Amino acid sequence: MFLFARTIAELSRLHEPLHGIIGHSIGATAIPTAITLGAQAERYVMMSARNELEDLLDRFFEITQLDKSLMPGVHQHWADEFGWDAVIAATPSSLVQQFFQPALIIHDEEDEEIRVSEARTIHENWKGSELFVTRGLGHIRITRSAEVAERVRDFLLA
C-alpha cells in the first residue's frame, strides 16, 4: 500500500496539476497517504477503500498463505521504512482528518472483501467528502457499474 502511495505522489508531481485522483481497493486506501506525501489534485475518488490496515495485512497473509508468525517482521519493516508505526498512524480515517479537498467515497453494502463501515469511517473524518453507497455490486463489479461511472464523472466535473 505504501508503494502505491509513493507512486501516486510521484505521478502527481510529474503530471501536475491533476484534476482528480481515482483509486479502487488498495489504490483507494493509498490515496490519503499519497496526499500526505505531496500528491495534489482538485478532487479525489476512493472506491472500496480499506480503513483498517491491520485487516489489509491479514487479508494479504490469507491470500498468499504466508505464515502469520511473519507479521511482526512486516510491522517492523513498515516502521523502519516509513518512519512511523504505519499500521496505526497511517489509517485513512486518521490521515483525512486534516483534509478539506472534495472527495467522493464509494462503497457497496455487499462488499465481501471490505466492510462498508470502513468507508463510513473515512467519510466521517474527511471534511468536504461525499459518501455514495451502492447495493449489489460487491467489491469488483462496482468498478464496472454505469451508475458509479456517471457519479464519478459528475463529481469530477462539478
Domains and CATH numbers, the chain: 2-52+91-157 (3.40.50.1820), 54-89 (no CATH)
Question: Which tens digits make up the pLDDT trace of 71-100?
Answer: 888 878 877 876 655 555 678 999 999 999
Predicted pLDDT of residue 40 = 96
Predicted pLDDT of residue 53 = 72
Question: Which tens digits make up the pLDDT trace of 105-128?
Answer: 999 999 999 999 999 999 999 999
Residue 4's SS3 state is: helix
List all residues 6 or more positions away from 5 whose beta carbon is below 8 Å from its beta carbon: 30, 31, 33, 34, 37, 39
Predicted pLDDT of residue 72 = 85
From CA 140, how far away is CA 8, in angstroms rounded? 21
